[in-house]
Chains A and B, each alone.
Chain A
Amino acid sequence: MNKIKFINRVKYTILAISLVMTNFAFLPQSASAASLTNSYIELNRMAAGATTSFRVVFKTASAGATSVAINFNGADTTTWTGSTGTVNATQTVSSASCAAATGTTALPGTLTAAGASSTVTISSVTALAATTAYCVDLTSTTAVTNASAGEYHPTITAGSDSTTVAVRTVSNDQIVVSATVPPSFNLALSGNTDAFTSNLATNAVGVTAGKTVTINTNAKNGWFAWAYDSNTGLNSAFAAHTISSTTPGTGATLTAGTEGYVFGITSITQGTGAGVTSAVPAYTSNGTSTGSGLDATVRQIASSTGTANGAVFTVKELAAISPTTQPGTDYTDTITIIGAGYF
Chain B
Amino acid sequence: MGINSLLSVGFGLIFASIATSTNYHLNSYSLDGGSTNNATSTTYKLNATSGDTQSSTNNSPNYQTKSGTIQTQQSNVPLAPTLSNGGGTYTNKLNFIINTAGNPTDTTYSVAVSTTSNFASTSYVQADGTLNTTPIYQTYTAWGGATGTLAIGLAPGTAYWFKTDAIQGKFTATSYGPSATATTSSSTTPSLSFSVTPNSLSMGSLLVGLIITSSTISFTYATNATNGGAIYMAGASTGLVSASSGGYSINVSPPSGNLATLAEGFGLQALTASSPLASQSPYNGTSNIVGSIYTTFQPVFSATSAVTTGTATAAMQAKSSISTPSSTDYTDTLTFVAAASF
Contact = CB atoms under 8 A, between A and B. Distances in A.
Nearest to B208: A184
B187 to A, nearest CB: 8
Contact of B203 (A41, A57, A178): A178
A17 B339 contact: no
Interface in B2-44: 4, 7-8, 10-11, 14-15, 17-18, 21, 24, 26, 29
Interface magnitude class on chain B:
35 or more
A183 interface: yes
Contacts of B200: 175-178
A165 B188 CA distance: 11
Contacts of B198: 175
Contacts of A166: 189-192, 223, 225, 340, 342
Contact of B14 (A15, A168, A218, A219): A15
A167 B192 contact: yes
Query: Which of A151, A219, A308 counts the most B-chain CB atoms under 10 A from its CB?
Result: A151
Interface string B225-245: 101010010100000101011
A309 B339 contact: no
Contacts of A79: none
Given A18-B10, A181-B320, A181-B327, A173 B337 contact: yes
A307 B190 contact: no
Interface stretch (B69-77, B278-286, B328-336): B328-336
Interface of A is mostly: mixed
Contact of A15 (B10, B246, B318): B10
Given A18-B14, A220-B246, A46 B324 contact: no
A8 B340 CA distance: 65
A5 to B, nearest CB: 12
Contact of B196 (A15, A37, A173): A173
Given A14-B18, A164-B342, A179-B202, A174 B336 contact: yes
Given A8-B7, A18-B17, A170-B196, 11 more contacts: A15-B11, A17-B14, A28-B133, A38-B342, A39-B341, A41-B339, A151-B193, A168-B338, A174-B335, A176-B331, A216-B322
Interface of B: 4, 7-8, 10-11, 14-15, 17-18, 21, 24, 26, 29, 92, 121, 123, 128, 130, 132-133, 152-153, 155, 189-196, 198-208, 212, 214, 217, 223, 225, 227, 229, 232, 234, 240, 242, 244-246, 248, 250, 296-297, 316, 318, 320-342
